[in-house]
Every structure is written in structure tokens, then in C-alpha cells.
Amino acid sequence: MMSSSNASAISLPGDCLAAHPVSDIGSGLLARFFYCKFMSHPVIPQVMELAKPIAAAMDLEVVNAVFQTNQSPSVLRLDVNCLTGDTSLEHCTDMSRAVEEAIETAELIPDAYVLEVSSPGVSDVLSRDRDFVSFKGFPVVVKTTEPHKGQTRWEGTLMRREDEYVFINLKGRPVKIPRGLVQEVRLSEQA
């Protein structure tokens, strides 16, 4: 196990990124990255269960989690926002260390990995309640994990998001898409 003192932190324009290896195998580092977006990997709900209370205690909120296992090594990435101001590199580093410890204690991820914690910066993917309020009336693309009424991609004007559904206006006709099927809601470049 590599200590947190070996952690590296990189500042990106408009973003902060804190990443550090959490396992050293043999003479070379084998790092696993888990990027958990849209909760598509089975470990994501458990990661979120650990990460959300840690974030709340630091006045942060976890706005996205993605687990990318298609990379070599894999990536676990958490995007956090500070609830009291701008998200700093220190916020990301503190969150990274605390989440790493919680994951290790819970023995949640058996393979070596690198945990990345960053601020989401400006994104065209809508994820927070306030995003859906701010971008009401804007053109969006909604992608679903499985077909809803025969399709997995919907383009229309954002109306609102409720507990159970995302509502869009499709050529003057309201369409409600179950939130459980929604993979992502993204601002569209088409007006």
C-alpha cells in the first residue's frame, strides 16, 4: 500500500484534480481508476453510500461518480462541489484521502486503483436539481439506459425534473421519461 504522502495533485484549468495511487503491486505501480458516472457499475451505489456523508461533513456534495474499467488501469472518479463557495484543490485532496480510507476500511474495491476527486467545472450534463431549474426551456438530449417507448435518445426542450420523471417538450408535446431509465440529460447545441 502506498501512503498518502506519495499522493500527487494536479491543478487543471477550471477544475481541481486530486489523484493518488492506492495500491502498489510488485516493482511497478498497478493503479486502478474507477469513474462512476450514471451509477452504471455495481460498486457505485456502495461508493456513493460511503462518499456522500464524508462530503457532507466537509460542506461538499458529490455530484457525479463514474467507474471506468475500460482503461488500463481503471479509474474511480468523484466530482464534488463545495456548498459554501468555490471548490478548491484542498477540498479535493481532503475528500480523496477520506474516501480512500473509507473504501479501504470497507474493503469495497479488491483491485488496485487510483482515486480521482475533482470539481466538475462547467459541464453540459445536467445532474443537480438546480441545473434542471436553471436550464428549463433549453434544448436537451436525454439518453436512456434501455428503450422507453421504443427509443433510447430523446431531443426536446427541458420542462422539469421531478422525483420519478424528467419532462421534455417534443415538438409541442410533453414527454415524461422515467428517471430510473435516464442515463444522462445533456444540453443540446441545437436551438
Query: Over the stretch 91-136, which tens digit does the pLDDT of each residue have?
Result: 999 999 999 999 999 998 888 788 899 987 766 888 878 789 889 9
Cα-based distances in Å from 87 to 81, 99, 101, 117: 6, 17, 21, 11
Between 180 and 30, name the one with better pLDDT. 180
Domains, in order of start, for the chain: 4-118 (no CATH), 125-187 (2.30.30.100)
**Best CA proximity match to 66, nearest among 183, 163, 166, 178:** 183
- The pLDDT assigned to 122 comes to 61
Stretch (H or E) spanning 140 = strand 139-148
Average pLDDT over residues 48-77: 88
The answer to whether 130 and 179 have CB atoms below 8 angstroms apart is no
- The pLDDT assigned to 48 comes to 94
Q: What is the mean pLDDT of the chain?
A: 78
Q: In this structure, what C-alpha cell is assigned to residue 185?
A: 440529460
**Best CA proximity match to 140, nearest among 121, 159, 163, 123:** 159
**pTM exceeds cut of 0.75:** no
- The pLDDT assigned to 190 comes to 66
